[in-house]
Amino acid sequence: MIKVQVRPNESLEAALRRFKRQCNHAGVFAEIKEKSFFVKPTTERRLAGLERKRVIKRAERMRRNARF
């Protein structure tokens, strides 16, 4: 759970900005968006496979570009 203490002499708007930033950093908004609609299991598996391929390609590209 994300908590934000309002500091002395801090406006409520500033505390709200800090709260939103912490929620964004923790991935709360992305999780809510992801769970806001139903995704068929086959689509979920297909997207997971595409994501794995993308991550592997990126790792290979980073490894190739690394200079020692």
pLDDT of residue 66: 83
DSSP run (H or E) holding 25: helix 12-26
Q: What is the dihedral of CA 16, 19, 20, 24, to 10 degrees?
A: 170
Give the pLDDT of the chain (68 residues) as one tens digit per residue.
Answer: 889 999 999 999 999 999 999 999 999 999 999 899 999 999 999 999 999 999 999 999 999 988 66
pLDDT of residue 60: 94
* Longest CA span, the chain: 52
> What's the pTM value of the predicted model, to 2 decimals?
0.57
CB 4 within 8 Å of CB 22: yes
Give residue limits of the domains in the chain.
12-65
pLDDT of residue 1: 85
Q: Name the residue type at position 45.
A: R
